[in-house]
Amino acid sequence: MKISYIELLGKKYPLCFSLAATEKLNDAFGSMEKMTEAVTGNNVGDMAKAIDIILTVLMEAGRKYCKVTGQECPEPLECRPADLIDLTDPSAVSAIYSAMAVGKEREVEVSSKNAETTQGH
């Protein structure tokens, strides 16, 4: 699994779009489509709330992933992500979509079948 990062207060926090994060986001919004609608809609309140929920979930998943894999990670925030983000700054939404894109990438291993064929008698 791959992680991406968001920079807050001069520190890089890992974001991870894991299956567990997907499950939590689906539960919070009812579906991934509704989550996308909340982030891209015209209601500023819904957008702010959605961004905060998504970042909280992705940051939690990122911390867990880093802890389990032995990677360094800054201490958890002492506040909500929304306390540090301005709606005029598109970096939060970019970080969310970046984490989702990285999480959806698949590493495919290709194996070839035995090229030799057996001759019948």
pLDDT at res. 96: 86
Domain locations along the chain: 4-104
pLDDT category of residue 111 using cuts at 50, 70 and 90: very low
pLDDT at res. 112: 44
User: Angle at Cα 12 formed by Cα 26 and Cα 73, nearest 5°?
Assistant: 85
Per 3-state DSSP, the chain is made up of helix, strand and coil in percentages (nearest 5) of 55, 10, 40
What is the CB neighbour count within 10 angstroms for residue 95? 24
Lowest mean pLDDT among 25-34, 72-81, 83-92: 83-92
Query: Which pTM was predicted?
Result: 0.79
Question: Could you read off the pLDDT of 21-57 as tens digits, one per residue?
Answer: 999 999 999 999 999 999 888 888 999 999 999 999 9
Q: Hunting for tokens 């699994």 — which residue is that?
A: 1
